[in-house]
Amino acid sequence: MISSVVGVTAFLVLLLFAVQVAFNLYATSTVTAAAFDAARLVAGADGDEAQAEAHLRELLDQTSLTTTWEYRDTDAVPGADVVALTVDVENPTRLLAGVPVPYQHVRRTVTVRLETFR
């Protein structure tokens, strides 16, 4: 009887861990895709940071979202300007709301080449 309870408890703990890992992977890939989409909008010919940031907030549906825009030259190709977007967001856990779960902070940096006439 005791071995069955221990076995079921261990199974449920591992299942809970697997579900939490799946949620984290989903959140990370969603943030990466949304950040790339926003950076691509800014890198376009008529790019606007405010419009791209509004689009990013709409996609992620987050209020605790921090963005940092940076424009720089690449060393590999002289004169090729790029825009880099860094997104910091907290991934709210739905499973254990009161328990601090590791890896809940997602930080992604996406770099996109600016579209310019040459």
Dist. CA 69–CA 86, nearest whole Å? 7
* Average pLDDT score over the chain: 84
The answer to whether the CB of 47 falls within 8 A of the CB of 41 is yes
Domain ranges of the chain: 2-113
* DSSP label at residue 110: E
**CATH number for domain 2-113, candidates 2.60.40, 3.40.50, 1.10.3470, 3.30.1300:** 3.30.1300
User: How large a percentage of the chain has pLDDT more than 90?
Assistant: 31
This prediction has a pTM of: 0.79
- pLDDT of 78 > 70? The answer is no
pLDDT confidence tier of residue 12, bands split at 50, 70 and 90: very high
The answer to whether the CB of 91 falls within 8 A of the CB of 27 is yes
- The whole-number average pLDDT for the span 83-112 is 80
The answer to whether the CB of 73 falls within 8 A of the CB of 79 is yes
User: What local confidence, expressed as pLDDT, does residue 75 receive?
Assistant: 67
**Helix, strand, or coil (residue 97):** coil
DSSP secondary structure letters along 54-86: HHHHHHHT-SSEEEEEEEEE-SSSTT-EEEEEE
Give the tens place of pLDDT for each residue, 25-59: 888 899 999 999 999 998 887 778 889 988 898 88
HSE, side-chain direction, 13 A CA sphere, residue 79: 3
